[in-house]
Chains A and B, each alone.
Chain A
Amino acid sequence: MAAGSKLWKRDTQAAWLFLLPSLVLFTMFIAIPVIAAFMISFTEWDLFNPMKFVGFGNYTELFNDDIFKKVMGNTAYFVLASVPLQMAFGLAIALVLNRNIKGQTFFRIAYFLPVVTSTVAAALVWSWLFNSNFGIINALLLSFGVTDPPKWLGSTKWAMPAVIVVSVWQNVGYAMVLFLAGLQNIRTDIYDAAALDSARGWKRLWFITLPMLSPTTFFVLIISIIGSFQVFELVFIMTKAGPANATNTLVYYIYQNGFQFYQMGYASAAAMVLFAIVLVATLIQYRMQDRWVHYG
């Protein structure tokens, strides 16, 4: 027993040693800032003058803030459009590329490239593509006979769809890679059994492939939702939240309040709201997974 507990002690020490580097980083750059932001959200602070405790003042102000309501609506619009599109296209491309087609590797790399491309660079290029006077998109639309093409980033109606298109373009490769890995994890004997059971084509996709892929789908869904709630760079580069806040989303609004208006307390409160939304969304997903996610 004595020798055993000594060994246990040594193992525990080794475990702490291995955990230490990431623990230090996590504490410094995640835990402390999160706690600090939580505290700051109950204050009024402009970075220069001393903090002033205001209780739930920032939160009540947020829920009466018309811009914040618009921002919430925009964020919901963005998430609800970009997540399903990313996933649908990612899955479709993965299904095609999972077959033994020519140039498979080339296409896999091509579709994944946007994921590793600098968002800022990509957003700049897309801004030019969407430019209503000189952009290639409107040039094409005109040549196809569209007489009055949208003003895209300059239009309150079309700016958000344009941002969504770029976001889907950028993230579809990530979903594709995950779906491809998921597809390749499906055992071929299951497909053999399905072939003997007359499950072909769409039937096979619906009754076999999709259910077998559900753990991957679940993971992609969670990751995409969290990622979409945090959209920032695209908005920052392409529209600066305009026109008339048409593309202002939660993280951008937090940035605006914190670093343009120097309302740290208010920005922190908005950040807490974002945190709560993502947390609740993820919890709901976890609760729902019993109904549709099947692990091996």
Chain B
Amino acid sequence: MRSDILFIILGMGIVTYIPRMLPLTVFHRIHLPPFWRGVLRNVPYATLGALIIPGMFLIQDDLWFGILGFVSAVFASWLGANVMIVVFVSVLVLTVYTFI
């Protein structure tokens, strides 16, 4: 193991852990005003939006790849499929699509 690589890995580990750890351990007794509590409750949906758009449509240069994956995932989960099935359907549809 080279020491420079080890330093990179350790440094990356530390700067990744600190933002993950601080709010859960330090903020736990801070009482936020209602507005900010509301904002934090909104965060999961907003995060999902930013994770999906535009990333999902830029996986491939072919825009249709992402669109097809998105539409099949929305379709499957709208019908009530659980997350596993949604992933399976989406991967299956795109496997067929890349074959043809």
The reply to whether chain A is a binding partner of chain B is no
